[in-house]
Structure 1
Amino acid sequence: MAAFGSVFMPKMALATFENNQWSEASIVAADSIQLHPGAHVLHYSSTCFEGLKAFRHEDGSVHVFRMDQNVKRLAQSSRLLSLPELDEAAVSKMILDVVAEYAEDVPTPPGSMYIRPTHIGTEAAIGKAAAPTATSMLYVLLSPVGDYFTGGAKALRLLLEETGMRCAPHMGMVKSGANYASALGPIFQAQESVQADQILFCPNGDVQETGAANFLLIDGNEIITKGLDTCFLHGVTRSSILTLAKDLGMTISERDITVDELLERAAKPEVEAVLSGTAAVLTSVGTFIHNGKDYTVGNGEPGPIAQKLRQALNDIQWGKAEDKNNWLTKVV
């Protein structure tokens, strides 16, 4: 099977910003982008993106999950990167139009259609290292996908990194390619040196997020996760899981948590740790690696609460449970 996110639909939605206005969006060939080699994005990383999914229900209908939240976050990222202002309604229409174009190609569960709206600065101006781009391009790519972690239900190994950071603190809530690039070196080193699957960045002992997912600790009936601030991404899946957990009567504690507390709680047999994200959904962590030592989380296997929450989320996405929060937008 092809690697996650490596197969694309042949067409995408595209709009451009020039002369202080957005063009009408159109459906074009996915390989039709042309960029000047001096484009702002290629030199100064004026780029942000989103990841969301469309799901096929048993009756054949197709629904996009929490599109409003992803579009809102894309607009926020664009503002924080000084990219041209987005029209959220227009972006939503682009997403729905291109998904409708390929509605028949949306996989059945557990597969889905991954949707990648991307906003990039296109002005050819290498003198603008300290100035925003005057022109930009917004496009929406589609990729039919299965599970992000090919290992399936295997619990992950996380290296607790207390010295480095995933990205600059004021950039954490921006979903920008540069943030992912800055985390690649440490993650690759952790994979090579201690066979970690990911790094949990904990600068000065403050537990934050991994290179590509939010982190949650489940201790009995309580979920502990860092409170929202500018230093890490405000995940839509994180928000959804917390809402579902609250509906199930669980206690939600959004607060700072230290590495010391994390390791102390991890020793308890009932404790579970999970990563949340659009791609990863909800993936269990079985081992923390800290100062050269392995610490088993709970019993080291995917836990029952994580599986219950993941199933509750999937059931809504797949149309098997009531969508009480109006998270789904019907395409066809």
Structure 2
Amino acid sequence: MNVDFPLRQTDRATSPADRAKILSDPGFGRYFTDHMASARWTPDAGWHDHRVAALRPYSLHPGTAVLHYAQEIFEGLKAYRHADGSVWLFRPELNARRFRDSARRLALPDLDEHAFLASVEAVVRADEPWVPDHGGEESLYLRPYMFASEAFLGMRPAEEVVYAVIASPAGPYFASGVIGVTLWISTVYTRAAVGGTGPAKCGGNYAGSLAAQIEAREHGCDQVMYLDGAEVRWLEESGTMNVFLVTADGELVTPMLGTILEGVTRASVLELATDHGLRAIERQIGLDELRDGCRSGGITEAFAVGTAAVITPIVGFKGDGYEFAVGDNRPGKTTLAVREHILDIQYGRVPDKRGWLRRVV
């Protein structure tokens, strides 16, 4: 199904000089491009009013449903500039599929995957000058989202919904080189439970993580390591990222799906495992197994993966009354090799043998 997002060019575009200044040090999520894609949904008309127009603020009624019941979802993906000037997306079909699944969990209307892809591509084309030059780890971060826009306080799924895509230039996650992080293993906060919203990418999951992040920082750690909500013994996620362990006998182990987010980078790392001589395994990982494996040398490396940081080496863990290092307390060779492999594919430095890239410009 072909869906068009016609462009209505803004008459207040950022000047080339101001844009160049922003792109010289964009950070993450600090600046936004000139346009946004949008569409609206109602039960009688379905999805309609597709467009790309000037980035603008919303005017919301104080009774807008999302403000009271958090009925919303979002996605995150990036556009990458290749050496020849072309611009590409990395596995956006997986984001489109996950967006649909998240919508169903939050009782929001399905957005056709073709419409998702068309809207993202339309924003990239409209604001192509905002995609950073090839040569570093800069990219254009894309944020599709959907929220209940109906002004209604009754407890039911909203009958007016807004979908949009905004974009923000992003600098390298590790500006001064890849560093390892230490995670706080929380037994106070849990992220999700069976039947909950853990597999959905919705704002409530992230709001609920903020207190756990504060707890981690109070213990001198960079991020939190969540355990399961039922037994508080099985590894789940690291903050907003999936977790992997590398073992001495060549296994690449990650917690199985069910209550965690099905990450795009997670799926990619699993598929690349054999290229690095590893056997990919998805299963439950106990806290005792992690602690004993790191201390005995059975677990040699650990890392977390996500769209923003790609791969973040984990060099240590702390918990209530204990701490232990991973390997030699430095980013591992396999971790760095897998990270470079994914970046090489995303930026077109190696052939895309798996058909993961989608050209936009």
Normalised to the residue count of structure 1, the TM-score between the two structures is 0.95
Name the residue aligned to 2:213: 187
- Percent identical pairs in the alignment equals 38
Aligned residues: 328
1:226 CA displacement: 0.8
Of the three residues 121, 125, 148, the one matched with 1:121 is 148
CA distance in 2, matches of 1:167, 1:3: 30
- Corresponding position of 1:60: 85
Q: Single out whichever of 260-269 and 308-317 deviates more from structure 2.
A: 260-269
One-letter code aligned to 2:150 = E
Contact in 1 for aligned 2:302/2:314 (Cα 8 Å): yes
| Alpha-carbon separation, structure 1, partners of 2:223 and 2:311 | 14
Match of 2:233 in 1: 205
Change over 3 Å in CA distance of 1:151–1:259 after alignment to 2? farther
The answer to whether structure 1 residue 28 and structure 2 residue 53 are counterparts is yes
Q: Once the 2 structures are TM-superposed, how far is the Cα of residue 33 of structure 1 from its aligned partner?
A: 2.3
Distance of 1:294 and 1:157 partners within structure 2: 10
Q: 1:160 aligns with which of 185, 189, 200?
A: 185
List aligned pairs for 1:187-266, cutoff 5 A.
Answer: 187-192=213-218, 194-203=219-228, 204-220=232-248, 221-229=250-258, 231-266=259-294
Please provide the CA RMSD for this pair: 1.5
CA distances 1:25-71 after superposition (whole Å, capped 9, x unpaired): 21122224222221111110111000101100000000011110001
Whole-angstrom distance in 2 between the partners of 1:201 and 1:141: 30
Check whether the contact 2:276–2:338 (CA below 8 A) recurs between aligned residues: no
1:37 aligns with 2:71: no
Secondary structure, aligned partner of 1:96 = helix
1:25 and 1:155, CA in 2 relative to 1: closer, same or farther beyond 3 A?
Answer: same
Residues 291-318 of structure 1: CA distance to partner in whole angstroms, max 9, x if unpaired?
Answer: 2322111111111001100111011101
- Give me the whole-angstrom Cα distance separating, in 2, the residues matched to 1:149 and 1:74: 28
Distance of 1:150 and 1:295 partners within structure 2: 27
Q: Secondary structure at the match of 1:298?
A: coil
Displacement of 1:2 after TM fit? 4.6
Q: Mean Cα displacement is larger for which, 51-60 or 20-29? A: 20-29
1:317 aligns with 2:343: no
CA deviation map 1:7-42 (0-9, x unaligned): 110211111112341113211222242222211111
Question: What is the letter of the counterpart of residue 73 of structure 1?
Answer: R
Query: In the TM superposition, what is the alpha-carbon distance from 1:164 to its structure 2 partner?
Result: 2.4
Deviates more, 1:162-171 or 1:260-269: 162-171
* Structure 2: gaps spanning 5 or more residues: 1-24
Q: Aligned residue for 1:4?
A: 28
TM-score w.r.t. the length of structure 2 is 0.87
1:182 and 1:151, CA in 2 relative to 1: closer, same or farther beyond 3 A? farther
Any idea what SS the aligned residue of 1:117 has?
A: strand
**Aligned partner of residue 109 in structure 2, secondary structure:** coil
Tell me how far 1:270 sits from its aligned partner: 6.7
Q: State the 1:102 CA deviation.
A: 1.5
The answer for the alignment partner of 2:18 in structure 1 is none
In the alignment, what sits opposite 2:161?
136
C-alpha distance in 2 between matches for 1:241 and 1:73 = 17
Is the Cα contact below 8 Å between 1:166 and 1:210 reproduced in 2?
no
Asked whether 1:275 is paired with 2:304, we answer yes
Q: 1:15 aligns with which of 39, 54, 77?
A: 39
Give the whole-Å Cα distance in 2 for the aligned partners of 1:184 and 1:252. 31
Deviation digits for residues 176-205 of structure 1 (CA, Å, limit 9, x no counterpart): 00001111112112202x111111101311
| Whole-Å separation in 2 of the counterparts to 1:85 and 1:286 | 40
| 8 Å CA contact retained: 2:142, 2:167 | yes
Aligned amino acid, residue 59 of structure 1: D
Answer yes or no: is the 8 Å Cα contact 1:63–1:328 preserved in 2.
Answer: yes
Unaligned runs of 5+ in 1: none
Question: Match of 1:98?
Answer: 123
